[in-house]
Structure 1
Amino acid sequence: MKQKMAIKVSMNGQKSRSKAMKIVVGLPGVESAALKGDDKTQIEVTGDGVDAAQLTMLLRKKVGFAELVSVTAVGGEKKEEKKEDKKEDPKAQPLVWPSTTPYYIYEVPPTSQYHDPCSIM
């Protein structure tokens, strides 16, 4: 599900801003990131499947103080699916492995009447 989140990060200069943006954009699922607010201390992230708490913890660890301000779901384009008259096979069942197979195979080594495996006797 696509969501938009705002995270307030304590960024002192351009170096910490660029570091925070590299961290945010580097995560999988992030579609866009932008600096918001009067003093550019908020990062607005839009993405699909991004964990907001994990992102906040990562920014807190790498940059400094970070606070999750808001998380909202973004209503994306809903595609209308056409329902076709496909009937599924009611007899189809999942494949189950038979339980009669042994877990191990024990083989007895062949013995010869001319060769005694015991060297003591």
Structure 2
Amino acid sequence: MGKQKVVIRLSMVDAKKRSKALKIVVGLDGVTSASVDGNEKDQIVVVGDGIDSFALVRKLRKRMKYAELVSVAPEDEKKEEAKPKDIELIGWPRPNIYYDVRTINDDPWCCIM
């Protein structure tokens, strides 16, 4: 099993609760990193190799009283940023007319109609 990313929602109302939750998470086998995330800082993102997500949630429920498993997904090691391509529009934008779009960097004869 490769690296995976586990997201867990917790009830963390203050910095003390966040610190307690992070200590619990980091103490498990296979965990390489953990961070607090979410709009209300109510989620923990755990990254590691061979993490038992159910054991992790069970341990957090025992100590924190509430834990909800949000997602488990494989972690992408190489995250490439999407680079915008230079696009050249041929012709004037007019309604009800198809446009010939050619990319400058790639194949110059690629058309979208």
**After TM superposition, is the score higher than 0.5?**
yes
Higher-strand-fraction structure: 2
Partner of 1:70: 71
- Structure 1 residue 63 displacement after superposition: 1.0
Aligned-CA RMSD value? 1.2
Query: Which 4+ residue blocks in structure 1 deviate beyond 6 angstroms?
Result: none
- Structure 1 residue 42 displacement after superposition: 0.1
Structure with higher RCO (Cα < 8 A, 6+ apart): 1
| Aligned-pair identity (%) | 52
Residue 24, structure 1, aligned to residue 25, structure 2: yes
- Structure 1 residue 25 displacement after superposition: 0.6
Secondary structure (helix, strand or coil) at the match of 1:60 reads helix
Aligned residues: 77
- Structure 1 residue 11 displacement after superposition: 1.1
Please report the TM-score for the alignment, with normalisation by the length of structure 1.
0.61
Give 5+ residue unaligned stretches, structure 2.
79-113
Please report the TM-score for the alignment, with normalisation by the length of structure 2.
0.65
Give 5+ residue unaligned stretches, structure 1.
78-121
Cα distance in 2 for residues equivalent to 1:50 and 1:5 = 8
Map 1:1-121 → 2, pairs under 5 A: 1-76=2-77
User: Rg bigger for which structure?
Assistant: 1
Cα distance in 2 for residues equivalent to 1:4 and 1:40 = 17
Cα distance in 2 for residues equivalent to 1:55 and 1:42 = 14
Cα distance in 1 for residues equivalent to 2:39 and 2:21 = 17
